[in-house]
Amino acid sequence: MDFTNIVLWLSAGLILLRWAAERALSELNRRHVLAHADAVPEAFRETIDEDTYRKSIQYTLARNRFGWFDDSYHTILLLLFLFSGLLPWGLQVFRTWFGDSVWNLAAYLFATGLALSLIGQPVEWYEQFRLEERFGFNTSTQKVWWMDRLKGFLLAVVLGYPLLVLILKLVQWTGDLWWLWAWATLLAFQFLMAVLAPVVIMPLFNKFTPLPEGSLRERLLGLAQRTRFQARNLQVMDGSKRSRHSNAFFTGFGRFRKIVLFDTLIQQLTEPELESVLAHEIGHFKKKHIHQLLAVSAISSFIGLYLIALLAHQDWFYQAFGFVPGSIVPALLLFGLLAGSITFWFSPISHWWSRRHEYEADAFATRTMTEAQPLIGALRKLNEKNLSNLTPHPIYSAFYYSHPSLLEREAALLNYSSPK
């Protein structure tokens, strides 16, 4: 067996191993949920009624079944794209019809990504208008859903396609160090998007209105002042336009920074609970979690681009998938398609780190509010309204949950607030 065949079998093995692991984790979680399905967990019997708990079990199991299909569907598509010869054939067609300019090669990468996205649309449509509809979460219309995708496509054309062209140009201009220049370019692009997104991009999808004058606004502004969080712009987002799920976040930098509350969140929580949720979000900022995430993202992209640069010099990597060596384009494409089968195994590390951040933000909110009950009440309501899985299997949680379970967070919150 020659080296190219080894690469093919290894790649297919990594993809199928991930699929098998996802199936095993899903089954592990399903059995764990069913083992606790007979009665509401003792810790929540005073706050969650049996009907709501039963519905959360049904929702969790329904999403489990959907995950089986979704993962299998996308795994089959990935295997088909990688091993059918379709990708090198498509590149040859682009080169024959349009030539070898960076604009045409970038168009090939863009078209391949678009094709993968379009093939996945029926599954996303089913999730929104069948699964989420069944459990009362969907509030989107067909028009809104399809317009979201059209807007996303146009943004990709306006922003993503020129970025691809620039990266390919950098390969021409800077030689072997292209990856370092591309990394700096991506960092600059991410910073630009962080500035433009709240001002230009997000309003294309949602309506943002100032939080009305009143006790809630005064309470939240007082919290911002008390924590020295500079954000005078409090806005409400029409999240109910698409879903009954709820959230809160802050976005932007400097004078563009704004605090955003979903209208669904305002409907579901009391004012002290809303204040505690915002205190939690401010905790992420004060603990420099955002800076840490940006640093990790920068390091990850640095490593990824360096690996692409190395693979671009390996003829066996190209030949294994039917490409002719010589262009950076196949390396960029293949790395993007294969990377998830490797990074999946590191997800417990990233999720452990994320959960640690959540605990730290919870602790900050508890100290700021001088008590844990408002945040506990908010978390209980959010878990109830979102039909969250209250009994996830620990191993499944390690791979898929960026936040601790409700039981874990409550225990930590009570510990933060107890006398030392």
Give per-residue pLDDT as tens, 200-252: 888 999 998 988 888 998 998 889 889 888 766 788 999 888 888 888 877 76
**198-202, 313-317, 355-359, 403-407 — which one is most confidently predicted on average?**
355-359
pLDDT at 255: 64
pLDDT at 232: 64
Three-state secondary structure call for residue 318: helix
Using the Cα atoms of residue 7, residue 11, residue 12 and residue 13 in order, give the sign of their dihedral. Answer: positive
Buried b (16+ CB within 10 A) or exposed e, 49-65: eeebbeebbebbbbbbe
What the block records as the tokens of 106 is 């970038």
287/419: higher pLDDT: 287
Secondary structure element (H or E) that encloses residue 234, with its range: strand 234-237
pLDDT above 90 coverage of the chain, percent: 65
Nearest to 417 by CA among 378, 377, 373: 373
Instruction: Give whole-number Cα distances, 299 to 37, 180, 237, 296, 350, in Å.
Output: 43, 12, 32, 5, 13
Helices 50-83, 102-126: inter-axial angle, 10-degree rounding:
150
Nearest to 258 by CA among 197, 321, 341: 197
pLDDT at 40: 86
Average pLDDT for the chain: 91
Whether pLDDT at 420 is above 60:
no
Instruction: Give whole-number Cα distances, 193 to 167, 189, 199, in Å.
Output: 17, 6, 10
Instruction: Average the pLDDT over 275-296 and give the result.
Output: 91
Separation of alpha carbons 91 and 7, rounded Å: 21
| 327 contacts 105 by C-beta, under 8 angstroms | yes
CATH architecture classification, 207-268: 2-Layer Sandwich (3.30)
Three-state secondary structure call for residue 251: strand
User: What pLDDT band is residue 417 in, cutting at 50, 70 and 90?
Assistant: low
| 281 contacts 365 by C-beta, under 8 angstroms | no
Instruction: Please state the pTM of the whole predicted model.
Output: 0.90
First to last CA, the chain: 65
Instruction: Average the pLDDT over 139-161 and give the result.
Output: 94
Catalytic residues: 281, 362
Nearest to 362 by CA among 307, 295, 410: 410
Nearest to 396 by CA among 50, 67, 44, 82: 67
Nearest to 109 by CA among 151, 180, 163: 163
Query: Domain residues of the chain, as ranges?
Result: 1-43+271-420, 85-205, 207-268
